[in-house]
Amino acid sequence: MSKPRILVARAIFPDIVDRLRQHFDVEDNPDDVIWTPQELAARLADKDGVLTTGSQRIDAALLSAAPRLKVCANMAVGYNNFDVDAMTAAGVLGTNTPDVLTETTADFGFALLMATARRMTESEHYLRAGKWTKWSYDMFAGSDIHGSTLGIIGMGRIGQGVAKRGAHGFGMKVVYHNRSRLSAELEAECKATYVGKDELLRTADHVVLVVPYTPASHHTIGAAELALMKPTATLVNIARGGIVDDAALAVALRERRIAAAGLDVFEGEPSVHPDLLTVPNVVLTPHIASATVPTRRAMANLAADNLIAFFDGRGPLTPVNQPSTLR
């Protein structure tokens, strides 16, 4: 009996590809070529499954060109690269990698908050440019983290992780906004208070975004929301590009309507809005919040586990949709 055929769409750890070869006929991409949608569709035409990252769009057009495709295992917790409705209608299952990156991403979110509040990027550029010649009382004076108010929009696993770091580690007052309120037990664990979005924006000293991207969450933070924030406040986005209107943010930063921002994700990434590259009061990182070796290995292994479990009949471990019938 022949093995199912799968595609590993981006380069991943070689030993995990070898593990997949024990179960599947694997085509991989060790050179990490970024295929066009047409090239991806051509490679999937004879495949039963695919291990994707956030850079491969799975939509109706691709599904029609890949009639054998049954399962798409995303090596990410987010899956806005999946047209879930189209996949469900076509009988194609999607999976993601929740939980395994929660703590690592929360670590990075808090690190980005600290770097933003304490103006680390600005000061490093200043030093490297040879401009540091003397001490002055207000040189790169930023804002305190300890004892300040942390506002979190999106209080899932990662948001809760950021909240706990702020409340328990830095004595921060934590307020949050979410589609639904947490249980009293979880609020107590996070020392967090539920508030409306506008109140959060008006009162928080540091705002962290951790919401999934959907059409409804597009530009959750735009010019109107930025106008509500304190001029001393900071904004951190570790969610997804498109949650923030990057053009409006660049204007707010340039005009000092808010103090600073820290961004790990961008609209249209890997492209970055050019205006963000010209303002000094922003920390920019290339979508690396989950980038530790143990966490990236755990993500790749969970994506592999989902493919293996699907084809051996156990069913996927972390599905994101439930087609009524499968291909």
Give catalytic residue positions.
240, 269, 287
Residue with tokens 């491969």: 56
Give the pairing of strands 49-52 and 71-74: parallel
Give the pairing of strands 71-74 and 173-177: unpaired
Amino acid in the structure at residue 163 = A
DSSP 113-139: HHHHHTTHHHHHHHHHTT---S--TTT
Q: CA-to-CA distance for 109 and 105, rounded, in angstroms?
A: 6
Q: How many residues does the chain have?
A: 327
Give the pairing of strands 173-177 and 5-8: unpaired
CB 79 within 8 A of CB 59: no
Q: Indicate the burial class of 270 (C-beta count within 10 angstroms; 0-12, 13-18, 19 or more).
A: exposed
Q: CA-to-CA distance for 251 and 148, rounded, in angstroms?
A: 25
Minimal CA–CA distance to 178: which of 223, 208, 148? 208
Q: Percent helix, strand and coil across the chain, each rounded to 5?
A: 40, 15, 45
Can you name the residues that pair with 26 across neighbouring β-strands?
A: 6
DSSP 169: I
DSSP 216: G
Q: How many CB atoms lie within 10 A of CB 27?
A: 15
